[in-house]
Structure formats: C-alpha cells, structure tokens
Amino acid sequence: MTSLRDLPAVDALAEQVDAPRAVAVAAARAVLAERRAELLGGASDEADLAARARAWVEAAQRPRLRRVINATGVIVHTNLGRAPLAAAAREAVARAAEGYGNLELDLATGARGSRHDHVAGLLCELTGAEAALAVNNCAGAVLLAAAALAGPGREIVVSRGQLVEIGGGFRVPDVIAQAGARLVEVGTTNRTRRADYEAAIGPHTGAILRAHPSNFRQLGFVQEVEIEELCELGAPVIDDVGSGVLADELEPLREEPAVRRSVRAGAALVCFSGDKLFGGPQAGLMVGTAAAVAAARRHPLARALRLDKLGLAALEATLQLYRDPERARREVPVLAMLTADEETLRARAERLAAAVGGEIVPAVARVGGGALPLLELSGPAVALAGAPPDELAARLRAADPPVIGRIEDDRLLLDPRTLTDDEIPLVARALS
C-alpha cells in the first residue's frame, strides 16, 4: 500500500480486527490517518495495516494509569504519584473497594454518620488536637481553612517571604483570593518581624496564615516569626506545614515543621498532606481547635473537597501504623526509604548491579515533593553502560512495568533507595 488510492475503507480494515465493533472502527480510523500522513510525507514502504490496527487495540486496552518502578532516588516523586502506600493501607483499600461500607452510616444506631469520623479520632490522638477533618488534598485544606476563618470582607495576614508559588502554578495569593478574603502582606521578602504582624492585625483580620515554602528556601540575612509567637498575637493562625511530619523524632525530618509543634503552639488550624512525608494517600488533613474545625466542616467547600472511601481507608490504616512509631518507620515506605542504612542500600545495589550488569557508583538521592530541598541522601547507585543514556531510559520506560531512572553526568543511574528487593528482577527483565 504505497499510494493513497491503495488504502482500504475503514469498515474493511475494521473487519480484520478482533475487537468490539466500536473499538475496531476507532483503530482502523487511527491507523488509516497515520498511514495517510506517512504517504503524504513521501513514504514508499509497505505497511501491514491490519497488524497496526491490532496493535492499536492492544495498546488502547492497557490501563492508562499503570504501576511504575521508581529507580530515580527521589522518594516523594510527584510525577510518579508521590508516596507509595504501606501494605496495610493497600489491604485496607482492597477491603473498602470490595463492596459496600459504612462510609456514612453509624452502625451502632443505624442513623446517618459522618465520613470524617473514621479518621478524626486517630488524627486527634496522634497530634494532640481538639478536632480534625480530612479533605482531598493540602491545597484544598488551606483553601477551606482560609474560607472558613476569614472569607468575604475579612483579611488574611501573610509574610511577604511566604507568598510562594508551588507546583502546577498554585500561588498563595490566589488561594486567599479564591477564599474571598483580602491579602495583607507584612514584612519584606527576606525579613519579617513580630512587630510587622502586630501592626497589621486589626478589626477586619480573619486569620494569620503561615505558608510552607515548599522547594523555596532563603539563606543568609533572613528572619521569620516562629509559630509560637504567631499564636500569641490574638488572631486565629492557619499553619500550612506542607508535608505532614508526624515522625518528628527521625533525624532526616528535623528541618520540616512538625504538626504536633503547631498544635501545641495553639494554631487554630494546621494543614498538611496525607501523602508526601506522611506516607499515606493523597489527602489534605486539618487539625486544630474544636471551633475552627467545626467552622471548616460547616463551610460549603467542605463537601466539594471531601475525601472518598478508598482514600479514607488508606488514611485510617496509615494513621494506625503511626500509633507505634517504630512500626511506622519500618512499614511506611517513605519513612523506610528516608532512614535506610548504608549496609541495606549497599546490599541492594550489589544485587541490582549483578542483575543488570551495571557499575556501583556514589550518588545522592532526594526527598522530593517540595520537602527538604537541601537535604542530600548519600548512598550507592548503579550506572548502566552499553548505550546512550537517553536510549536506555526510553527502553526502560517502554517496559512492562515501566522503569524510571535518572540521567546524571551522561549516565543512566538506578538508585536502590527507592527500589524494593522484589523489584530488582523486574528491572533486570526490562533491560533484557
């Protein structure tokens, strides 16, 4: 078929594809359009259009959202779904997905219950807060907090040094505007003092917002007001602590703001992520005073931002793990990766190098997800040779499951910190 005149009709090509009629027709149309473009571009080779159509159907039937093996060394990798779930959380999701559940049913009374009650008690127990609420992500939690405590006609006071933009174009000033409140900036980009906040607080102040800087850090001539001082100023404080550190006893996490510290300081609402460093599902968690959480629960946005049953199941199981800090460190994958010792990483790197024929080299892993951008996690990695790194990376991405490494110094590296022992044979198979 080397000319446009030789191309078959859509129906004729669809008849050669073993698939439901609508799928076969879609495959035929896609393949014919592709071949038409090739011929117009000067192609003169022969093409098996029926084989192409069958391959199109096979590809179309594969799930778009697929498991990926993370060999990048970036623990909380936003592009790869951030935190992998603990085994207990995966099992909880499977149970919740199996059939119906008591999502909003009080089994003791038979009356309607609240979906928030499944995790609120655990959140309060683990953080020391009076009340708690879970929504669908941390950005949603901050938006809801701003709308509930300030809203139209009120002001939210923020340090200029915290008016940041994070991934996806999410900007703090835009959040405040969407909440209907008016932004009041205080201090300068690099230095904000207690007196700056005191001068800005007035009868129209709805809240003070302390925003997590994500990947943005200032070094040198800087000053900021700590959460304890902010909570002494009299206005309600919304503290966006970002990554959700409950395992604040772990050395690598000491530079991230701890949830319990903000609760102890008296913040009205503390907002943090359920994934990222917390290591659970995507969620926005809010803990704080009973009055502030009640205001958030009553707000119309609370329904628009609510968490579904699968997310709640995974979140509850992850929270249960945190009741035993040592168990959480072992079983929550993010915490286990952060605290992996040199001996474990070296042994995994040796198995990986033997399986794929690579060379062990020193490397630096990262936390990712906007957390601890300056933290370097030293350890071994496996460098692959035999082909240009871009070509190797493409081959690995085309595997099933895809394997994602990182290119550094013109080499493709596979980092054992973000791999499990069970994934090493899959990586070897992807390269074979």
In tens, the pLDDT along 40-99 reads 988 888 889 999 999 999 989 989 899 999 999 999 999 999 999 999 999 999 999 999
The count of residues in the chain is 432
Residue 157 has pLDDT above 70, yes or no: yes
Task: Give residue 428's pLDDT band: very low, low, confident or very high (50, 70, 90).
Answer: very high
Q: Tell me the average pLDDT across 305-313.
A: 96
Supply the pLDDT for residue 432.
80
| Residue 117 clears pLDDT 90, i.e. is over it | yes
Rounded Cα gap, residues 247 and 250, in angstroms: 6
Lowest mean pLDDT among 1-15, 102-116, 117-131, 411-425: 1-15
- CA gap 147, 162 in Å, rounded: 19
Q: Is 168's pLDDT higher than 70?
A: no
Q: What burial letters (b/e) apply to 354-367, b meaning 16+ CB within 10 Å?
A: ebbebeeeebebbb
Taken in order 331, 337, 341, 347, is the CA torsion positive or negative? positive
User: 330: how many CB neighbours lie within 10 A of its CB?
Assistant: 14
d(CA 116, CA 173): 29
**Cα Dmax for the chain:** 80
Tell how far CA 225 is from the center of its chain.
Answer: 28
Residues 6+ away with beta carbon under 8 Å from 262 = 227, 239, 241, 270
Structure tokens at 41: 């571009």
Contact 268, 292 (CB under 8 A): yes
Integer CA distances (angstroms), 173 to 71, 93, 163, 179, 332, in order: 36, 36, 7, 10, 34
Angle between helices 117-127 and 309-322 (to 10 degrees): 30
Torsion of CA 20, 24, 26, 29, to 10 degrees: -160
Q: 403-407: long-range contacts at Cβ-Cβ below 8 A with a sequence spacing of 24 or more? A: 403/68, 403/69, 403/71, 403/427, 403/430, 404/68, 404/69, 404/70, 404/71, 404/72, 404/80, 405/71, 405/72, 406/71, 406/72, 406/73, 406/74
Structure-token match 């007035």, residue found: 202
Beta strands in 265-368 (DSSP E): 269-273, 284-288, 359-365
Which range has the top average pLDDT, 148-152, 159-163, 239-243, 413-417? Answer: 413-417
Query: In a 3-state reduction of DSSP, which class is residue 300?
Result: coil
User: Look-up: residue for tokens 């900036």?
Assistant: 185
List the single range of 101-115, 217-231, 319-333 with lowest mean pLDDT: 217-231
The CA distance from 255 to 375, in Å, is 9
Instruction: Summarize the confidence of residues 130-147 as an average pLDDT.
Output: 95
**Residue 336 Ramachandran class (φ > 0 left, ψ -120 to 50 alpha, else beta):** alpha
Q: What is the pLDDT of residues 341-386, one digit of tens each?
A: 999 999 999 999 999 999 999 999 999 887 777 788 999 999 998 8
* pLDDT at res. 215: 67
Q: Are 419 and 428 in contact (CB under 8 A)?
A: no
* 3-state DSSP assignment of residue 379: strand
pLDDT bin (cut points 50, 70, 90) of residue 243 is: confident
pLDDT at 1: 54
From CA 154, how far away is CA 159, in angstroms rounded? 17
Share of the chain above pLDDT 70, in %: 98
